Amino acid sequence: MALRFYNTLSQRVEDFAPLHDNVVRMYTCGPTVWNFAHIGNLRTFTFVDILRRWLRYCGYRLDHVMNITDVDDRIIRESLAAGRTLTEYTEEYTKAFLEDTGALRLERPERLVKATEHIPQMVALVRRLIDGGFTYSSDGSVYFRIASFPGYGRLSHTDFSGIRAGVRVDTDRYDKADARDFVLWKARKEGEPSWDTEIGAGRPGWHLECSAMAMEYLGETLDIHAGGVDLTFPHHENEIAQAEAATGHTFARFWLHSEHLMLDAQVMSKSLGNFLTLRDLVAQGNKPEAIRYLLSSVPYRKQLNFTFDALKSADTAIERLRNYKLRLDTGKFPAGESEKLAARTAEALKRIEESLDDDLNTAEALGAVFEYIRETNTAMDAGEFPQGNAASALDLLARFDSVFDVLRPTVTGGALADAEIESLIAERNKARKTKDFARADQIRAELLKRDVILEDTKDGVRWKRK
């Protein structure tokens, strides 16, 4: 079966292939850098990471753009309150965001772009909309007239035809009940940051940023546009209106939305005050890779309830995966190769691939891996796992880990666990066998830095703590 995704636009699961060549043109909405990201935000970014990695696994190249929203209502409010310039304020939280996503091993998109560095592109888009008759001005601000765009509501599957024309909304974030003509360009306000442009002095509305930057880098039609489910309305509905009114073409073919992370049966959010940040969880001793595992273990279209028990289970699951890899790396197995086991390995890999092809069903993929591990561990215990099957089992793990990325321990300042040391030594032995002495030396140095000393003896490698 082919790769397929649930498309919010059609409300159906559709086979996916990019429009041009082998390149997937993808835009995902990035963070608003007004504060630290919470792990709800990071669930959405983890989903995007799994999506990226799976597309590449399928053989596609990526041109992925993600924005950093570094000007919006909340940022202006907070930076004014802190008595800092917009740039000073947003740089701090941009850095924090990159640290957090780095700790979670989220790949950097091909282009990470800042809203404030694309004001001319935004102004040009507003110009096109003004010229096309989709806007009106009031008190120096420019609004999008939603009655002028018949497709309005198509993404969120809502009928907005009954709403009163000419009623406006100035804030960036609002509910469906407040669907109004939305602001494209906000007139300058005393004391707030603004830009002098041909459409007047002011600043962009949040929705405008994404349409302008997406089209700047990816052209008028994207293959995939993604974000958290709360962005469907109004943000993505408005993005479509702005882009399609200007170009007359489909803005994005596939719209993917990830469900919320919940805490105590409520959506995790800053405004409700029920949130956890990655840095707090790590400071409490939780491993970033366990958080990554937890966030990616539930398929992205299902709500995920955060609990500390679930986080503990994620940690245990990773330990099982690592111990299994260690056993494959270092275990002594009888000579030979079993055809039956080889077929079992191929079947497990196929199940992993089919699960992820099925709208990124990560839970199914994990189920397939653990079933395989259980069965082959039993075979190993019984002396029925021959050496000749180890390479393909390791290959399966490596393929799995190219998407889930949890096998490698995070290098923190703290002491390494014995299993982590053994695993690094096994990797060093392998490097030496293949004459990759640079890697072997690097591992020795890494271990030394963590206070572990290696001794090469005639019986093999011994290690001790300093």
Residues making contact with ligand AMP (CB under 6 A): 29, 31-32, 40-41, 43-44, 227-228, 230-231, 260-261, 267-269
Closer to ligand AMP by CB, 250 or 269: give it.
269
Exposure of 194 by Cβ count < 10 A (0-12 exposed, 13-18 middle, 19+ buried)? middle
Task: Look at residue 261 and give the partner it binds from ligand AMP, Zn ion, none, a contact being a CB closer than 5 to 8 Å depending on partner kind.
Answer: ligand AMP
Give the shortest CB-190-to-ligand AMP separation in angstroms: 27
Task: Look at residue 210 and give the partner it binds from ligand AMP, Zn ion, none, a contact being a CB closer than 5 to 8 Å depending on partner kind.
Answer: Zn ion
Residue pair 358/1 in contact (Cβ under 8 Å)? The answer is yes
Closer to Zn ion by CB, 118 or 287: give it.
118
Closer to Zn ion by CB, 65 or 356: give it.
65
Closer to ligand AMP by CB, 40 or 299: give it.
40
Tokens of 89: 């304020």
Closer to ligand AMP by CB, 149 or 251: give it.
251
**Interaction of residue 122 with Zn ion, rule CB under 5 A:** no
Give the shortest CB-153-to-Zn ion separation in angstroms: 18
Residue pair 256/201 in contact (Cβ under 8 Å)? The answer is no
Closer to Zn ion by CB, 154 or 173: give it.
173
Give the shortest CB-111-to-ligand AMP separation in angstroms: 17
Give the shortest CB-233-to-ligand AMP separation in angstroms: 11
Closer to ligand AMP by CB, 278 or 341: give it.
278
Q: Which stretch binds Zn ion (CB under 5 A): 25-33, 245-253, 352-360, 374-382?
A: 25-33
Closer to Zn ion by CB, 210 or 369: give it.
210
Task: Look at residue 155 and give the partner it binds from Zn ion, ligand AMP, none, a contact being a CB closer than 5 to 8 Å depending on partner kind.
Answer: none
Task: Look at residue 268 and give the partner it binds from ligand AMP, Zn ion, none, a contact being a CB closer than 5 to 8 Å depending on partner kind.
Answer: ligand AMP
Token look-up 């995939």 returns: 224
Residue pair 29/231 in contact (Cβ under 8 Å)? The answer is yes
Residue nearest to ligand AMP (CB): 228
Among 3, 9, 26, 29, binds Zn ion (CB under 5 A): 29
Task: Look at residue 257 and give the partner it binds from Zn ion, ligand AMP, none, a contact being a CB closer than 5 to 8 Å depending on partner kind.
Answer: none
Exposure of 49 by Cβ count < 10 A (0-12 exposed, 13-18 middle, 19+ buried)? buried
Give the shortest CB-45-to-ligand AMP separation in angstroms: 7
Task: Look at residue 113 and give the partner it binds from Zn ion, ligand AMP, none, a contact being a CB closer than 5 to 8 Å depending on partner kind.
Answer: none
Task: Look at residue 118 and give the partner it binds from ligand AMP, Zn ion, none, a contact being a CB closer than 5 to 8 Å depending on partner kind.
Answer: none
Give the shortest CB-206-to-ligand AMP separation in angstroms: 8
Task: Look at residue 153 and give the partner it binds from ligand AMP, Zn ion, none, a contact being a CB closer than 5 to 8 Å depending on partner kind.
Answer: none
Closer to Zn ion by CB, 236 or 428: give it.
236
Q: For the window 180-219, what string marks contact with Zn ion as x by the rule CB under 5 A?
A: ------------------------------x---------
* Residues in contact with Zn ion by the rule CB under 5 A: 29, 210
